[in-house]
Amino acid sequence: MPNAPRSRSDPSGAASVRRAPRVVTPAALAPFGFVLLWSSSFVAAKTGLRHLTPLLFVTIRLGGGAAVLVALMLGLRRSWRPLGQWRWLHCAIAGTLVNGVGLMAPHVGLTKVAAAPLALVQSLTPLLTAALGVAVLGERLHLRQWLGLLLGTAGVALVVGLAALDSAARLDGLLLGGVGVLGLVAGTLYFGRFCRGVPLLPGVTAQFLAAALVSALAALSLERPHAEWTAGTLAAIAWNTVVVSLGGMALYFFMLARGTAARATANFYLIPGTVALLGWAFLGERLTTPAILGFAVAATGCWLVGRGRPGLRPGPAGASGPRPQYFK
């Protein structure tokens, strides 16, 4: 039987077939949720640190998150078996670096310097992660993505650079911000190397338990814990524990398990601009023209890093190959 004639307007002969609408997946929304939640933690932390010592603040934040996660594991009757064969130790190391060191050092730094200089230091996270990810995880970035990383750095510099120059930031505070960057980068790369095959809930539970224990030991040995239980203190703890630590870090590890380390950390370029917007909306801070321009440049850089799928060179076992299927 001869084929039906194709119309000029539809050379494929599929005029009657409509294209399915593009579905917005959780993976596509995860970066936006992460940036918003992580940025909001700056506002909450500024409130909480007025009434709590920094390491105690982090201990309560991580301990509360760990308690909620353990309750979820028990309530949902999830198995602890995926943490067997020393996987729990790998998750504990990644969690201690990302949630422990990555939070404790910046919180102490916030008591010594303004948020802008610390944000400038933390802008090193994506570039450092991408550079080390090439060597450690076998990730290969296109030239377009390296350009995006550089644009992101330039955008962050526009947002916080002037503020950093105007403040007489103390060296020890900036060094603490650098320690937090190293913890976050090291934990991100360690997770990408050893923890991608662990289901999300038990993996994050092990990470939070380890980080809470380490931060509690640090609070007892490195500071004199002090707390004033005001309404603002309780609100700051509740927000940063439930919404930021649980929601934000779950999104971060979700993105890391789905893609490359460079992609996940590239979202940090959007945080300073988002913080500026939240400060303007909730704290009455003035939104300057450099902040608007910097946010636009950083957003362009983040888009360039996330566009397309970067290839992976053959690397050590676990560094390449198919992505885990636990999140489908």
Span 68-105, pLDDT tens digits: 999 999 999 999 999 998 999 999 999 999 999 999 99
Mean pLDDT value of segment 51-80:
94
Name the packing angle between helices 102-110 and 54-75 (round to 10°): 150
Is 69 part of any domain?
A: yes
Contacts of 160 (CB under 8 A, 6+ apart): 116, 117, 119, 120, 123, 272, 294
In-domain check, residue 327? no
Mean pLDDT of 221-243: 92
In tens, the pLDDT along 123-137 reads: 667 767 777 777 676
Please name which of 239, 266, 309, 306 lies closest in space to residue 47, comparing C-alpha atoms.
Answer: 239
Number of domains forming the structure of the chain: 1
Q: Please tell me which of 10-19, 141-150, 259-268, 308-317 the model is most confident about, judged by mean pLDDT.
A: 141-150
Residue 297 belongs to some domain of the structure: yes
Decide if 26 is inside a domain.
Answer: no
> Does residue 121 sit within a domain?
yes
pLDDT at 312: 37
Residue 312 falls within a domain, yes or no?
no
Q: Please report which confidence band the pLDDT of residue 309 belongs to, taking 50, 70 and 90 as the band edges.
A: very low
What residues make up the domain containing 147?
32-306
C-alpha to C-alpha distance for 70 and 96, rounded to whole angstroms: 17
Instruction: Indicate the pLDDT class of residue 320, thresholds 50, 70 and 90.
Output: very low
> What beta strand segments (E) does the chain contain?
none
Site of tokens 């997770």: 191
With respect to residue 23, please indicate whether it lies within any of the assigned structural domains.
no
Record the pTM. Answer: 0.71
Q: Is residue 10 part of a domain?
A: no
pLDDT score of 277: 79
